[in-house]
Amino acid sequence: MIPFNKPYFSGRELSYIEEVCHSDTMSGNGHFTKLCHGFFEKRYGFRKCLLTTSGTDALEMCAMLCELRPGDEVIVPSYTFVSSALAFLREGAVVRFADSGSEMPGITAETIAPLINERTRVICVVHYAGVACDMDAIMALAAQYGLLVVEDAAHAIDAYYKGKPLGSIGHLAAFSFHETKNISSGEGGMLVVNDERFVRRSEILWEKGTNRAEFYRGMVNKYGWCDMGSSFLPSEFNAAYLWAQLEQLDDIQGRRLHIWHRYDEALRGRLSHGIQVMMETPDYATNNAHMYYLVCPSLKERTSLMNYLKNHGVQTTFHYLPLHSSTYYKPRHDGRPLPECDRYGDCLVRLPLFYELTDKEIDEINALLLAY
């Protein structure tokens, strides 16, 4: 069976983890954490980076920094992972789900605008498959109504919008380093703060509500509990594993892009049964090869295709189940139909894409799809 995913392993992870075992700091915010923070801040120009134990934790920090009050509304895509909404619900906000665009699963200014009212405080955008939403249009909406923008950049490492790194455009951003992402620490994430007014509080939330970071910088002579927070920072073991992958980021990205284009050159415009390659990269965006997906004409056709590939030794998977129709949120949804989101929920299928996938295996998958 060709698996859907296999986490990348550079070979240096174990030696760096051993280095942590012999160091004075294992619990977090040590040598490897600082290396990772510095990498992202220098390479992408992020104002402030803080590693977290998951992308979910990073989103929860975003929601806390937004200082939401009960009844405040947050606009979130329905076609996303539950964490995108859950982070804001934990803060007492009301989530208003936006539909996907017709050409790509991400939300658009056109699907966002009708949901804005006097209670709206935040727009959370998800850069699905690492392809940017139209951020100029979304940021203009936010500026017009005085809203904060959170970028859920879980898929979006090393992806750009008009030359700007994704995660650097909104007021806040969250990345994921889950094992399914381009680079991984097993479980892990990162908060990005691009607005100066949130920098100090982000460190306090990160350190269990204390001003410990200021103490270590010599800014205060003792530290104590001064705000809400949690234990968001990961151990040095996680950071060491991530650092080994960051050192190889360009190599990882090069291989993933090769795989993506080998699929695309074989499949685009050549599939039958109404199956389409809908992975368009707008002129304003780049492709970071996070995933390669197809869109079938119906749920029945997708099930048939996935079973066919499984029977021939290829593991594929669908993706999100729309959050507005989930068991938990359906009773809370305002009843609006979200047809594009439902279409992707029923019809989208993802193909294997990981560093060790060989050209021979890609060609086998392509041949199976073309023969279907």
Taking the chain (372 residues) in runs of 10, the rounded mean pLDDT of each run is: 96 96 90 97 97 97 96 97 97 97 95 98 98 98 98 98 98 98 96 96 88 65 78 95 98 98 97 94 96 98 98 97 95 94 98 98 98 98
Could you tell me if 221 and 313 lie in one domain? no
CA 259 to chain CA centroid, Å, is 20
Q: What is the CATH number of the domain that holds 354?
A: 3.90.1150.10
* 129 shares its domain with 22: yes
CA angle, 104 as apex, 100 and 110 as ends, to 5°? 45
Whether 55 and 112 share a structural domain: yes
The Cα–Cα gap between 328 and 276 comes to 32
CB atoms within 10 A of CB 146: 8
Coil, helix or strand for 23? coil
Pairing of strands 73-77, 94-98: parallel
C-alpha–C-alpha distance, residues 45 and 289, integer Å: 22
Q: Do 27 and 165 have their domain in common? A: yes
Instruction: Looking at the structure, tell me whether residues 253 and 226 fall in a common domain.
Output: no
Residue 192 is predicted with a pLDDT of: 98
Model confidence pLDDT, tens digit, residues 320-329? 999 999 999 9
> Which residues constitute the domain of residue 240?
13-246
- The CATH number of the domain holding residue 202 is 3.40.640.10
Domain contains 4: no
Same domain, yes or no: 66 and 208 = yes
Does 5 reside within a domain? no
Q: Which of 91, 6, 28 is nearest to 237 (CA)?
A: 28
Supply the pTM of this predicted model: 0.95
CA neighbor of 285 nearest in space, from 122, 103, 55, 78: 103
* 318 and 274 inside one domain: yes
Domain's final residue, options 246, 263, 278: 246
Q: What is the dihedral of CA 275, 176, 54, 141, to 10 degrees?
A: -90
In a domain, 53, yes or no: yes
Q: What is the pLDDT of residue 196?
A: 96
Query: Rg of the Cα trace of the chain?
Result: 21
Considering the domain architecture, whether residues 95 and 230 belong to the same structural domain is answered as: yes
Give Cα 67 distance to the centre of its chain: 22
Q: Are residues 323 and 222 in the same domain?
A: no
Q: Is 6 inside any structural domain?
A: no
Q: How far apart are the first and last CA of the chain?
A: 18
Backbone angles phi, psi at 239, to 5 degrees: -65, -35
Q: How many domains does the chain have?
A: 2
Please state, in angstroms and rounded to a whole number, the distance separating the CA atoms of residues 187 and 194: 24
Q: How far apart are CA 187 and CA 240, in angstroms?
A: 13
Residues 206, 170 within the same domain: yes
pLDDT of residue 228: 86
**Residue 236 shares a structural domain with residue 275:** no
- Establish if 226 belongs to a structural domain: yes
Strands lying side by side in the sheet with 94-98: 48-52, 189-193, 172-176, 148-152, 120-126, 73-77, 94-98
Same domain, 283 and 237: no
pLDDT digits (tens, 9 = 90+) for 26-77: 988 999 999 999 999 999 999 999 999 999 999 999 999 999 999 999 999 9
The residue among 221, 246, 271 that closes a domain is: 246
Of 192, 222, 246, the last residue of a domain is 246
